[in-house]
Amino acid sequence: MLDWQNIDTVMLDMDGTLLDLHFDTYYWLHHLPQRYADIKGVSLTQAKDVIYPKLTAQKGTLNWYCLDYWQQEFDIDIVALKKEIDHKVQLLPGTEDFLNWLTTTNKRIFLVTNAHSGSLAVKQPHARLERWLHGIYLSHDYGYAKEEQGFWAALQEDIGYDAERSLMVDDNLQVLGAAQESGIGHLLAVSEPDSQRPAQHTGDFNSVAHLGLAIPATETSIW
Ligand SMILES: [Mg+2]
């Protein structure tokens, strides 16, 4: 399905692409409201009434991914609360096989994420993604989310990729749309980003349930 011979740079999203999005959905929808209620001495319903509308209002913006923003907005230690559930950080099925295979090719492999550095700090000790990567690029460092064209211009300047020979893999279809608009030639969606939720529709984008299924068949048959 992917034209691997014509791809020399691979850009990978983190949450919902390499890592199970369950950590994040559980954190924002359950853990944070529960701990907010404990800390502020309000009911769980009151906590959700404070948290959910604010989250919804920022979706797709850099603020939505910014732990400093939420720390200020909710007056709560967002990173400390993430650490309370860091045992839930895990690779999606197929991630390890895919990255092991990818490193046997001569392709450049970059993590390209909207995740905040505080979130990366919680996840990295468990995920240890740097084992497979040639670089990690955070949209916060550019001041643009991956959904924005400014992000792709800044990334291009940093790593000098040949857009037509580059692949972006993401579970966020808005991000794939932005990557496509910026000229990235190869796009792949992940249709099962969260192990605890049903698969998502991926529209017109090529998709795999998990990255293990993106390894070329000629490679898997060797094993
Ligand atoms: Mg994602």
CATH number where 197 lies: 3.40.50.1000
Same domain as 124, residue 52: no
**26 compared with 1, residue with greater pLDDT:** 26
Residues 74 and 94 in one domain: no
Task: Tell me the CA–centroid distance for residue 222 and ligand 1, in Å.
Answer: 31
Compute the Cα dihedral for 51, 56, 57, 63 and give only its sign: positive
* Sheet strand arrangement including 166-170: 135-138, 108-113, 9-12, 166-170, 186-190, 207-208
Residue span of the structural domain in which 52 resides: 23-87
> How much distance in Å is there from the Cα of 90 to the middle of ligand 1?
14
* Residue 74 in this model has a pLDDT that exceeds 50: yes
State whether 161 and 57 are in the same domain: no
Q: How many domains does the chain have?
A: 2
The rounded Å distance from CA 117 to ligand 1 centre is 15
Over residues 150-174, mean pLDDT:
97
The Cα 6–Cα 126 span in angstroms is: 33
Q: Whose CA is closest to 152, among 96, 114, 109, 206?
A: 114
Q: pTM score, two decimals?
A: 0.93
Q: What is the band of 223 on the pLDDT scale with cuts at 50, 70, 90?
A: very low
Same domain, 102 and 16: yes
Q: How far does the centroid of ligand 1 lie from the alpha carbon of residue 98, in Å?
A: 17
Residues 55, 155, single domain; the answer is: no
- Place 61 in a pLDDT band, splitting at 50, 70 and 90: confident
Which tens digits make up the pLDDT trace of 3-37? 999 999 999 999 999 999 999 999 999 999 999 99
